[in-house]
Chain A
Amino acid sequence: MILSKDEAICLILSLSKNKEVSSPTKLNKLLARLNLFYIPVDIDFTLNKFGSFNADLSELRENDYYSTSQYEYKEKKVNKFILKPKGEVLIKEVVEQKLKRILTEEELKSLGENISYLSSLTATEISDNEHSILLVDVDDRFRLEQKINETFIELKDLYQGLNDIPENTIVEIRLKALIELCYYLIKYLKEMKFKRLQDKEYDFHSNMFDYYFLENIHSIIPFLKRAVLNNNNEGITINKYYQYFINSVRDRHPFSIYNESLNEIVLI
């Protein structure tokens, strides 16, 4: 499950105040924020030299689902994006069906409230908060390293218990896949991507998803521990995490089942 670029943009617009977003920069930030809600979107997010990140919206033009409208702000011409009726249909018929498979009703409501709130902030305000969560800034390298070590130890324990989980239901099978995925992904980040974190100036070439993955896996560990003991009521949430880690990068990150050379970086 993955939201296409148009589906993701329509989702953001539909949840934003007045069903519009006032600039491409803000739309960037809101789209990027979907990663912290574990919603896979088919958009590339990259770091830039200021440690900030961008969704690739350079080619974004008005289409059947949303329109653009130019206005002046501080003597600059800015485009705002507005949801069209066809975009609302896309939300009802496609996006909501997809989201129902990964989000509970409460989570859907919370997503709506959050995006609506974030849409009332400036782009800088949205971005600042996310930087501190993700430890993207150079000054946070030590904390980043601590976080990856701690996450890896926790996952090692969970992974070692994998054979104790039966495979009688789809939820159990998916839970085991999720734990396997988290363990090997963090192992890869720890032993390859962030191995020489202290030696380097700063890895501007890092994939933004290295940070999203670490933050998101770190935050779901308590859930994974609970789910191992009792996963019966957690099917949707397990699916949410699984879909995110499998689909959010596809061919845009080396640790992906869509990478035909994955076997070269899975450290067994």
Chain B
Amino acid sequence: MIVNKCIYAFDECSILKLCEIHIPPAYQIFFAKSILTERNHHKIKTAVQRLDFKDIKKWRFVPSENTQSNIIKVANKLLEGYNIQMLPKIFKAQIIEQLEEFSRDIPLTFDEIKKNDEITEIKEIFVTNERVLKREKNIPEDDDMKIISGYIKIGTEKEKFLITEDEHFWGYSDLIAENFRIIIIEEWRCDKVLA
């Protein structure tokens, strides 16, 4: 349930998945549609629309140093399951260009939380409580910890939520909630949670 007193932040990949890719006419025969979206697109869009409807701010983390790799990651996800036989490299480049264009406009619709470089204590907690993750390296990246550190720093008593598909967060969700008071919402559940 969406509560006015809470803060809702999204990781960059989840925001990029809001992008609706316009399939160039030449490629539409491979899709039988003109718009291509990532599989969680609808859920994230629904959650965002609900926040907008209630006039609740949406937040993201800056600086976003991994924009390039995030764009490539989302482009690869968009292409999963499709076999484009004609000029496939061009199609991928077209997807990337639209994601780049979309990412330029993100600052207009999301407020910013500054990442914080002080991560020593946070890292210690993860290292002490290391878990075996399925898809990612066991310990979260430094950048993930900078997100947590920045989120802690915004110094509010409000409840804080982070919508993400990154296993580095949801794989440690109980630990993060307990130690940093940040509630992780798995991206694929965000429309249910933010109802």
Q: Give the interface of A toward B (CB within 8 A).
A: 162, 167-170, 173-174, 176-177, 179-181, 184, 242, 246, 256-263, 266, 268
Q: Which residue of the partner chain B has the closest CB to A176? A: B89
Interface size class for chain B? 20 to 34
Docked CA distance A179–B93 (Å): 12
Known contacts A177-B92, A259-B25, A263-B29; can you find 18 more A-B pairs with CB under 8 A?
Answer: A162-B89, A173-B96, A179-B89, A180-B88, A180-B90, A184-B87, A246-B90, A246-B94, A257-B24, A257-B25, A257-B26, A257-B90, A258-B26, A262-B26, A262-B87, A263-B86, A266-B87, A268-B85
A170, A173, A180, A242: the one contacting B87 at CB < 8 Å is A180
Given contacts A184-B87, A257-B87, contact A174 B93 (CB under 8 A): yes
Q: How far is the CA of A170 from the CA of B28 in the complex (A)?
A: 23
In the complex the two chains form, is A174's CB within 8 Å of B96's CB?
Answer: yes
Assess whether B93 is in contact with A257, with CB atoms less than 8 Å apart: no
Q: Which residues of B contact A (CB under 8 A)?
A: 24-29, 68, 71-72, 75, 85-90, 92-94, 96, 100
Q: Please pick, from A176, A180, A260, the residue contacting B26 in the complex, using a CB distance under 8 A.
A: A260
Known: A174-B96, A177-B92, A180-B87. A263 touches B68 (CB 8 A): no
Cα(A92)–Cα(B54), bound, Å: 38
Known A169-B68, A257-B87; contact A263-B93, beta-carbon cutoff 8 A = no
Task: Report yes or no: A258 in contact with B71, Cβ–Cβ below 8 A.
Answer: no
In the complex, what's the smallest C-beta–C-beta distance from B26 to chain A, in angstroms?
4
Complex CA–CA separation, A268 to B93 (angstroms): 20
Question: How far apart are the CA atoms of A119 and B92 in the complex, in Å?
Answer: 39
Q: Is the interface of B mostly helix, strand, loop or mixed?
A: helix
Closest to A183 in B: B87
In the complex, the answer to whether B86 meets A258 with C-beta atoms within 8 Å is no
Closest 4 CB pairs of A and B: A177-B93, A262-B26, A257-B24, A260-B25
The answer to whether A263 touches B90, judged by C-beta atoms less than 8 angstroms apart, is no
Give B51 Cβ to nearest chain A Cβ, in Å. 30
Select one of B68, B71, B94, B100 contacting A257, CB under 8 A: B94
- Please tell me which one of the listed residues A170, A176, A246, A261 contacts residue B68 in the complex, with CB atoms under 8 A apart: A170
B32 to chain A, nearest CB (A): 13
B89 to chain A: which residues have CB within 8 Å?
Answer: 162, 173, 176-177, 179-180
Contact B25 A170 (CB under 8 A): no
Residue of A nearest to B75 (CB): A173
11 CB contacts below 8 A, A to B, read A169-B68, A173-B75, A173-B92, A179-B89, A180-B89, A257-B94, A258-B25, A260-B26, A262-B87, A263-B26, A268-B86
Cα distance A168–B69 when bound, in Å? Answer: 8
Residues in chain B near residue A258, CB distance under 8 A:
24-26
Q: What is the chain B residue whose CB lies nearest that of A259?
A: B26
Complex: A261 Cα to B28 Cα, angstroms = 10
Closest to B28 in A: A260
B76 to chain A, nearest CB (A): 9
A224 to chain B, nearest CB (A): 14
Query: Can you name the residue of chain B whose Cβ is closest to the Cβ of A255?
Result: B26
- Are B100 and A170 in contact, with the CB atoms below 8 A? yes
Chain A residues, Cβ within 8 Å of B26: 256-263
